Amino acid sequence: MTTPTHQHATILEVAREARASKTSVSRYFSGERERLSPNLQTSIAAAAQRLGYHPNRMASGLKGGRSWIIGMLVADIRNPFSVAVMHGVEQACRERGLSLMVCNTDNDSALEREHLALLTTYRVEGLVMNAVGSLDRELQALVEQGTPLVLLERELSQVEAEVVGLDNARALDLALDHLQARGYGELLYLSEPPGLASPRQARLTRFQQGVAARALAGEVHCQTLGETESLNRAIGNFLARPGTLPKALLCANGNATLAATRALHSLGARLGETGLLGIDELDWCELVGPGITTLAQPTEAIGRAAVECLMRRRDTGDRTMPARRVHFQASLIPRGSTCR
């Protein structure tokens, strides 16, 4: 079949090239691919690629009232967890013929409000949100208007939305059980200030409950991680405290693990002799010293689940559907930093 040489191919030309109906091609590019056979999907995809065809999302939105855009608000795009989850969200969107629009709020509640207002002007199909501030009223209004919303990790008490994230209680139990089994009896929990971030609050509360239940000695230090001197002093005081029980640091997230690793290095502490366990598996953790023990979050699955929740709510159109809590389990990756 002859391939058109003009710049903008049409949906009819794709149908002819793929030997398919115009309706089938429309379904392929409108998020209804599952209604087509695998062979037909392959033929349409190949024809569109040969012709350089790209659907006009703006025209489709004006005609059908859909934008084909998923919005995502990220509290801190520099956070490795956010980047990893974002990849899962983007993959799931791409498979459904959707585009992802990401806004970084940089942990600024005022900027978060501005970005939320911007995304609503694009009539997004749904919103994945890693909240910074307390936008309960604005978000609840979106939900009541029919915009599907999924909260990533951070819950908002006044918003009826689905939440996807880690089972924080189980993760902390897993960490404490591992440290206790390795013989560490005095633990220092390092975290950024909990603030309004519900995962930080949940992890801190579970740590305090867990050390009490296991008869361990537990101490908490929360601070902005950029304050290096203060962090080094807190860790140094903890390590210098008299006692016969082996000491270990438990870090609330990847940023805390990195800060703790730098502090221990500057203090001349030996990993293993001083235990170190961090929530979030980062690429460099296996490369430092004997390797750093981590609790890995299934970030790809979390991102994909967020999109699945959005699409389920959008496709059913049932605003009375109860909001779910989808919790994933962490996986322990033991390394030398908790091997005495």
Average confidence (pLDDT) over 242-261: 94
Residues 6+ apart with CB under 8 A from 237: none
pLDDT for the residue numbered 5? 44
Regarding pTM above 0.85, the answer is no
pLDDT for the residue numbered 59? 52
**Could you report the per-residue pLDDT of 101-114, keeping only the tens digit for each?**
999 998 888 898 89
Average confidence (pLDDT) over 10-37: 85
Residue 111 structure tokens: 């900027």
What is the number of H-type helices and E-type strands within the chain? 12, 12
- Using CA atoms, how far residue 279 sits from 10, 199, 313, in Å, is 50, 12, 31
DSSP 137: H
**Could you report the per-residue pLDDT of 259-307, keeping only the tens digit for each?**
999 999 999 999 999 999 999 999 999 999 999 999 999 999 999 999 9
Smallest CA-to-CA distance from 102 within 67, 130, 123, 135 is with: 130
pLDDT higher at 279 or 53 = 279
Q: Which residue has the tokens 């902390």?
A: 172
157: Cα separation from own chain's centroid: 19
pLDDT for the residue numbered 218? 96
Contact 302, 164 (CB under 8 A): yes
Residue 62 pLDDT exceeds 50: no
Longest C-alpha distance within the chain, in Å?
A: 83
Mean pLDDT estimate for the chain: 88
Residue 4 pLDDT exceeds 50: no
Average confidence (pLDDT) over 48-54: 84
pLDDT for the residue numbered 272? 95
What's the start-to-end Cα distance of the chain, in Å?
69
**Could you report the per-residue pLDDT of 187-241, keeping only the tens digit for each?**
999 998 887 677 889 999 999 999 999 999 999 999 988 889 999 999 999 999 9
Percent of the chain at pLDDT > 70 equals 92
Please provide residue 123's backbone torsions phi and psi, each rounded to the nearest 5 degrees.
Answer: 50, 55
**Could you report the per-residue pLDDT of 313-333, keeping only the tens digit for each?**
888 877 677 788 899 999 999
Strand boundaries in the chain, DSSP class E: 69-74, 99-104, 126-129, 149-152, 162-166, 186-191, 217-222, 247-251, 275-279, 293-296, 325-328, 331-333
pLDDT for the residue numbered 161? 86
